[in-house]
Chains A and B, each alone.
Chain A
């Protein structure tokens, strides 16, 4: 089975711009979760989508949003980028069981 894929792998944006990151889950997985990883805050949960519905949301501002398509692929969007948004963004997919399978991440740099 192909693993979770994320595109792009690297991204450089300027403050004030917006960005869209994509995640393709493992075939058959309906749950996709997003995490932000930074040296200072570690891994923090952003949100989870299940069957195209946001099921849970972490403690991030409204500039962070996401969606899930009927094929379970998910996108997350960050608007009005700030320097502090520079991070590794990970997505993970699951069959709604115990184990989450993580992608390689997208490294976003905001200048």
Chain B
């Protein structure tokens, strides 16, 4: 069965410091991995997807199939990065069902 684990519920970093939000998954196959973000009083929105290998707002995430991880990284955290971050997995079945981790609340301290 699929499972997404985000080991840190809370993470605080100082502005300008590097940040890494961890995500590990279990799935027998080749799922698609995503990071979704929810800023205060805003909707859940897509931040990154592994297949596009892009950098959004300075964030990157590399899919490591050997370690079954999809950690989110940013070299220099900004105050506006403070938000709730969810790692999500979508099975390669063609259907739109996402399996979410429990989320990490990131706080960037000025």
| A residues lining the B interface (CB < 8 Å) | 3-4, 31, 33, 35, 42-45, 48, 50, 55-56, 58, 90, 92, 94, 96, 98-104
Contacts and interface: CB of A to CB of B under 8 A. Distances in A.
Interface in B75-104: 86, 93, 95-103
A104 to B, nearest CB: 6
B43 A100 contact: no
Contacts of B11: none
B46 interface: yes
B49 interface: yes
A45 B86 contact: no
B100 A55 contact: no
Contacts of A92: 44, 96
A-B pairs with lowest CB-CB distance, top 8: A56-B95, A43-B100, A102-B44, A42-B102, A45-B97, A56-B97, A99-B46, A31-B96
Contacts of B96: 31, 33, 48, 50, 55-56, 92, 94, 96, 100
Given A55-B96, A104-B43, 20 more contacts: A3-B43, A31-B96, A33-B96, A33-B98, A35-B98, A43-B98, A43-B100, A45-B97, A45-B99, A48-B97, A56-B93, A58-B97, A90-B44, A96-B96, A98-B32, A98-B49, A98-B51, A98-B52, A102-B44, A103-B43
